[in-house]
Structure formats: C-alpha cells, structure tokens
Amino acid sequence: MALSEPVLTKRIPTPPFGDPRNRHLVGYDEYVNTGGYAGLKKALAMDPKAVVGVVKASELRGRGGAGFPAGLKWGFLPPEDGRQRFLTVNADESEPGTFKDRLLIDFDPHLVCEGIAICMHACRLDTAYVYIRGEYHAQARTLQKAIDEAYAQKVFGEGSILGQINGRWPQCYVHRGAGAYICGEETGLLESLEGKRGWPRIKPPFPAVAGAFGRPTIINNVETLAMCGPILDRGADWFKSLGKGRPAGAPPTVPASFGPKLFGVSGHVNRPGVYEENLGVKISTLINDYCGGMRGGKKFKAAVPGGISMGVVGPDEIDAELDFDIGKKHNCLGLGTAGVIVMDEDTDMVAVARNIARFFSHESCGQCTPCREGSAWIYKILCRIEAGQGTTRDLDLLLELAGSMGAMPGTTICGLADGTNWAVRTILNKFWGEFEKRVTAERYVSLNVVGVR
Amino acid sequence: MAWTMKNSAGAPAQEQRAEPYLTDEMKKEFEANLLPRYPTRRAATLPVLHALEDKYGWLPYQALEETAQFLGLTASEVGDTASFYEMFHLQPKGQYLIQVCQSISCELTGHEGIIGAIEKKLGIGLGETTKDGKFTLTHAECLGSCGSGPCCLINDKLYENLTTANIDQILDALP
Ligand SMILES: Cc1cc2nc3c(=O)[nH]c(=O)nc-3n(C[C@H](O)[C@H](O)[C@H](O)COP(=O)(O)O)c2cc1C
Ligand code: SF4
Ligand code: FES
C-alpha cells in the first residue's frame, strides 16, 4: 500500500505530495510551527529507558545500510559511569547511488537535530559529533546553522532542555570528513574522528562498549535518527502500521520492515530523485509511478537495489519488493541504503562491473590483503574483458576472487570487501551470457590435474 | 583514499619558509573554539588540516610539521593522516579544482562526455593543471548527487545536471 502522507519529507515537498520546486530550508521557527520537536518534548517527559523502549518496540531498523535494529543497539550500552559517552551521526553518505541523507540536511536539518537530541537523552550521551563527508560543503554549512539555532533555543549547550548528562551540558558538533568512502564504515569513522587514517577496527569490542576515544559510543545513520522524532511523537504502533510487517503468523524473531523509507532513484529513469515510500514498495512502482518511467521508453534491464555494494537484480526482477528481505528473495546482499540505480536495455553490464570494481579498488583502505589485492585484480581483469582481451578462464577467476573476499567469508576486517564480492558475483551470474560473448574460449587446465596420472 | 600512490599524496615539497603557515591567530582560534570539542588534541587533525588547505590551497610539508607541533604529535603521524584523504593535497594544485564524478550513476548518464568537453576546452588531461595555474582537472568517486548526474565539484561548489553545453558556460563564468 502506498504511503498516505509524507513523514520524513513532511516539510520537503516531494511527489506525489508536493512539488520539489517549492523546497526551501526549514528553519527552527517553521519547524516548530509544523509540529517539530514534539517528539523530543514527549521523550523528555519520559524516563530515558522508556524512550529506548519505544524505539525498540517500533522495531526501527538502521537506514545506513546494515538494517540493524536501532533500539537493540541502544540497549547494548553499558551502565553510566559518570564519564563522557558519545553519539556519532553517520553523514558520510558516499556509496554510489546514495543521496538521501543529503536531502534531509539540505532542507529539514532540524529533523536530524531532533533525532540527535532524542538519542542523547535516551542513551545518556553527552557529546554528539555529526561526521559529514568532506565533499558536502554546503550541507555542512546548513547543518551548522541549524545546530547553532538549536543551541540558541537551548536544545543543546548550557541550560539545555535535556538537562545535564553525565555531569555535562549536551554538545553537538559538526566534524567534516576529507574524502574517503571507508570512513562511512562505523569504526573507520571513529578512527577518522580521532584524527587518524580511516582504518576500520577489528570487532569486538563493538562501539557501544568501546567506541570513540575508547568510550561507549552509539553510531547511527542520519535517516535513522531523523525517524526518531516522528516515532516518539506518534508512537511505535503508528510506525508499525506503515511499511511491511512480518508474514502472517511469523514469530517476532523474524525481522520485519516497518515504516517509511527514503528511496534515492538514479540512472535511466525520466525523473530521478529521492522519494519517500513504505518499505516493501516494488522497484517497478518507483520507476513507473514516481520516476515517470524509463528514460526514452527503453526496457528495464537491471537495478542496484540499494547502493552498489548490494549487487544487482536482473531483467525479470523489476517487481522485487524493496524491504530488508530483498537479499534472500532476489539473491543480492540486501536493501543497503535503498539507493536504487536503474539501468536500461542498452547498458553494458561489463562496463557496469568494471565501474563498480574500480570504485571498490580505489576505496579499499588497504588493511586486508583479499580486499586490497582482490579488488585491484578484479578491476584489471574486467578492464581486460571490456577491451576484448579476456578469456573464459577470466570469468571463473573473477568468481573465485570475488567469492573469497569479505567479512562474511571471514577474510577481511570490514564489509567493504563483501560489497565487492556481491556486486561482482551477482552481475556476473545474472548476466553470464553477456560476459561470455565478450571473451574468447580458452580451455581451462586445472593445475591439480597436471601430472597426476 | 589512498593506499596507492596518487598525485595528491606524492612526495611533499620540503622547502621551509620563515613565516609559519599555522599562524598565531589560527592557533588562538583553534585553542578557543576547536580543541575544547574533543577529549584529545589529535582529534583536531582533520579540522586543522581543512583550515590550512582552505587557506593555502594545499598542504606544504612545513604546514604538516607545524600542525604536528601544535597538536603534540609527530610529523609522521600528521603525514600519515593527511596522505590518506583525497581532499588533502600534498602538492600545489590549480586555483580551481574540477572533480568530475565517475561513479556508476554518473557514468550511466554520460560523465565521459563532460570530461571530454572539459579536456578539450582547457587543453589538459585528467590529473593535469593548466599552464596559468587556474584549473586542475581530476575525477572523483560518487559525490552524493547521483539523481542529478553527471555532476562535478569545482572547489566547494557542486554543479549538477551537466551537459557539454552548460559545462562550457560554467567554466567561462568562473572569475
Ligand atoms: C564500507 C562501508 C561503508 C559504509 N558507509 C556508510 C555511510 O556512508 N553512511 C552510513 O550511515 N552508514 C554506512 N555504513 C554502515 C555503517 O557501518 C553503520 O552500519 C551504520 O552507520 C549504522 O547506522 P544505522 O544502524 O543507523 O544504519 C557503511 C558500512 C560499510 C561496511
Ligand atoms: S575489508 Fe577492505 S576496506 Fe575493510 S578494512 Fe579490510 S582492506 Fe580495509
Ligand atoms: S554516482 Fe555520481 S554523484 Fe553519485
């Protein structure tokens, strides 16, 4: 069922509810006059643990890529010990196809501030850093302005309506990254925040126990936090009436996909952009009802469901439902950031694979050999195939290389390598014929057999 | 982001000058408004390097040394951090840094034509700077503007929905 009213985009005119030409930066006064900070007020009237309870009950799942339940994460924090505890807001948004957090910061930054304040109150965190990617120059300025307003209105700072937390007045700072995709990975982000190169850490310990500066730290995506205001204002049941629940009769251990979500659609559609819809919306619905159909009336060929690390869905999967279960149903990694990249019939999938491999090769932080070397070789092999100099053996080699790298096969520290793995394997497997046509046949002689008989 | 050697992370020029890059005024401002934000001085590395890069257009080796001294670090610690990030340039660049997005959504919408048009207009290739030192052309990975590609950053300004025609006007309009 389609979303009946905008939630995250309430103040950001977006089709079908509004005309993007009417978008403007919503300041503090307009935000409050349109119901803003009502969720924070309700949260402040509650015991912090009860606020965590509401978020837990809503089953809000992280919007930054991994879909981890936010309330559960908040529950991992150790008891307070009077020393500093941190919130780091992940505004690094650098995964190709992803441009949704930017929309919130560009036009309704107080929605993000409200979520930050709610999380600080609920989790007893006294200092928040918004880690925003360095290339978001304008967004960093807009956000700083909103935070300044929030300070003036006593959301943060001395005399804050949150009161003292851990014996300190709550503070919220913008911290700019400097151009490295890996700093979006939560522990890479922490290292970078501490002034070092963004090398992801080996886990455990998890950030909730030992995060920024060795202290308990919560890391959430911008959109995840932005969702907290509306949830606190309208309740967990309201949130769970939206999106896609678990199948009838399924036990509560089966993860569901409740709530609305921002979908950034790019590529070969007539009206690319960020749209808000219930989780579970079909790719075809986004393309046809929101994006004005395929560009030039071309046929659909493939789509990335949510940022390139998720892999692709093929020509017969246009009706795939975009929810947290998409990975299992359509043989891709998952929903990711819900940045949908649409490709039409003229798209060269070898070129797509080459582009994606180059991205991962370039952005690998270099700590783990399978990721650093594997992605570089995958890129080289794909360039060779694109140039018409590949062999059938290269295709097997690609699958073998890709399949052996990632945190899930257990060969690397972080999930960047899994992205390479899934992107390359799904493109290759779902468009095998296209790759085969581009290479020359070469009989594969396995070294294992040589000399045995 | 770099574990490979790239231009911006190349061997830094080592000339020293008497006048510091990290001025007393900057230091005072950082002590008052930046350092109190963090539990460690090292955490101010990125903001300080950003400020220096903004002021001078690149990060001379001496500036890294001064940053290290100011933050109580070794020059190699600051160098280690600086060389990791794409936005920190250890060598001079042109007055305008043009970064064209080459990631997938922008390739699907034709970034190659845009790069070609810029190369033709400025007479330089990727990674090069015009002789008058005005423009440096490079490509970037996804700029977070995938719905309005192809796109590019020119210094801190984002330009979206580029065409071979409007990129011409954009470059002409730069002072
Ligand atoms: C390589 C890599 C890059 C990531 N980039 C981002 C990012 O740019 N923004 C983001 O919110 N999460 C990113 N994540 C996910 C974060 O690690 C983390 O799961 C997320 O910020 C948690 O917030 P959430 O639970 O609210 O989604 C990335 C993960 C990996 C492995
Ligand atoms: S998997 Fe890749 S990006 Fe992640 S820590 Fe290892 S080398 Fe770095
Ligand atoms: S792919 Fe070019 S801005 Fe995202």
Q: CA–CA separation, A381 vs A438, rounded Å? A: 12
Dihedral sign for Cα atoms in the order B89, B92, B93, B95? positive
Domain around B72: 24-84
Q: CA–CA separation, A235 vs A57, rounded Å? A: 9
Q: From B39, B57, B84, give the residue that closes a domain.
A: B84
Domain shared by B163 and B120, yes or no: yes
Please list the alpha-helical segments (H only) found in A291-431.
Answer: 326-330, 349-363, 369-386, 392-403, 416-430
Q: For a pLDDT cut of 90, what percent of chain A falls above it?
A: 93
Q: What is the pLDDT of residue A440?
A: 86
Q: What is the pLDDT of residue A443?
A: 61
**Is B61 domain-assigned?**
yes
The count of residues in chain A is 453
CATH of the domain at B46: 1.10.10.1590
Contact at CB, B1 and A343, closer than 8 angstroms: no
Which residues fall within 8 angstroms of residue A437, CB to CB, at 6 or more apart?
none
Domain shared by B44 and B71, yes or no: yes
Q: What is the pLDDT of residue A339?
A: 96
**Is B14 domain-assigned?**
no
Domain shared by B109 and B45, yes or no: no
For the cut 90, the answer to whether the pLDDT of residue B14 exceeds it is no
Domain shared by B55 and B119, yes or no: no
Domain shared by B39 and B61, yes or no: yes
* A411 in Cβ contact with A402 (< 8 Å): no
| Mean pLDDT score, B47-62 | 96
| Mean pLDDT score, A20-43 | 98
Instruction: Give me B42's structure tokens.
Output: 């090292």
Model confidence pLDDT, tens digit, residues A124-150: 999 999 999 999 999 999 999 999 999
Give the helix/strand (H/E) hosting B61: helix B61-71
| B88-98 CB burial, b ≥16 within 10 A, e <16 | bbbeebbebbb
Place of tokens 């151009």: A179
Q: From B84, B104, B120, give the residue that closes a domain.
A: B84
Q: For a pLDDT cut of 70, what percent of chain A falls above it?
A: 98
Comparing CA positions, the residue from B151, B134, B56, B126 lying closest to residue B96 is B134
A184 vs A249, more confident? A184
SS3 state of residue A296: helix
* A336 in Cβ contact with A322 (< 8 Å): no
Is the shortest distance between the CB of A413 and ligand 2 below 6 Å? yes
**Is B101 domain-assigned?**
yes
The pLDDT confidence band at residue A453, using thresholds 50, 70 and 90, is: very low
Give how many domains chain B has, as a whole number. 2
The count of residues in chain B is 175
Domain shared by B101 and B165, yes or no: yes
Mean pLDDT, chain A, rounded, equals 95
Model confidence pLDDT, tens digit, residues A216-248: 999 999 999 999 999 999 999 999 999 999 878
Give the helix/strand (H/E) hosting A105: helix A101-107
Domain shared by B101 and B48, yes or no: no
For the cut 50, the answer to whether the pLDDT of residue B5 exceeds it is no
Model confidence pLDDT, tens digit, residues A310-363: 999 999 999 999 999 999 999 999 999 999 999 999 999 999 999 999 999 999
| Mean pLDDT score, A431-452 | 73
Q: What is the pLDDT of residue B86?
A: 95
Domain shared by B55 and B100, yes or no: no
* ipTM for this model: 0.94
**Is B16 domain-assigned?**
no
Q: CA–CA separation, A204 vs A225, rounded Å? A: 24
CA of A206 to the centre of ligand 2 (A): 17
Fill in the amino acid letter for A243.
G
Q: CA–CA separation, A218 vs A328, rounded Å? A: 28
**Is B55 domain-assigned?**
yes
Model confidence pLDDT, tens digit, residues A57-97: 999 999 999 999 999 999 999 999 999 999 999 999 999 99
Q: CA–CA separation, A248 vs A236, rounded Å? A: 19
Q: How many CB pairs (< 8 A) connect A and B? A: 152
Q: CA–CA separation, B171 vs B169, rounded Å? A: 5
CA distances (Å), A198 to each of A112, A325, A408, B111, in order? 24, 30, 21, 28
Cα A421 to the center of its chain, rounded Å: 18
Instruction: Give me A369's structure tokens.
Output: 């050999």
Q: CA–CA separation, A420 vs A219, rounded Å? A: 24
Q: For a pLDDT cut of 90, what percent of chain B falls above it?
A: 91
CA distance B174 to chain A (A): 18
Instruction: Give me A28's structure tokens.
Output: 């503090």
Instruction: Give me A277's structure tokens.
Output: 């819809």
Model confidence pLDDT, tens digit, residues A353-410: 999 999 999 999 999 999 999 999 999 999 999 999 999 999 999 999 999 999 988 9
Which residues fall within 8 angstroms of residue A304, CB to CB, at 6 or more apart?
A97, A310, A311, A312, A339, A340, A341, B104
Q: From B43, B60, B84, give the residue that closes a domain.
A: B84
**Is B2 domain-assigned?**
no
For the cut 80, the answer to whether the pLDDT of residue A1 exceeds it is no
Of the partner residues B50, B144, B148, the one whose CB lies closest to the CB of residue A176: B50
Query: Residue A103's CB: how many other CB atoms inside 10 A?
Result: 25
Domain shared by B100 and B166, yes or no: yes
Domain shared by B57 and B106, yes or no: no
Domain shared by B75 and B102, yes or no: no
**Residues of B numbered 112-171 whose beta carbons fall under 8 angstroms of chain A's beta carbons: which are they?**
140-149, 153, 156-158
Q: CA–CA separation, A339 vs A310, rounded Å? A: 10
CATH of the domain at B139: 3.40.30.10
**Is B6 domain-assigned?**
no
Cβ–Cβ contact A97 with B under 8 A: yes
Q: What is the pLDDT of residue A446?
A: 54
**Is B121 domain-assigned?**
yes
Domain shared by B63 and B111, yes or no: no
Cβ–Cβ contact A98 with B under 8 A: yes
Would you tell me the crossing angle of helices B45-56 and B61-71 to the nearest 10 degrees? 150
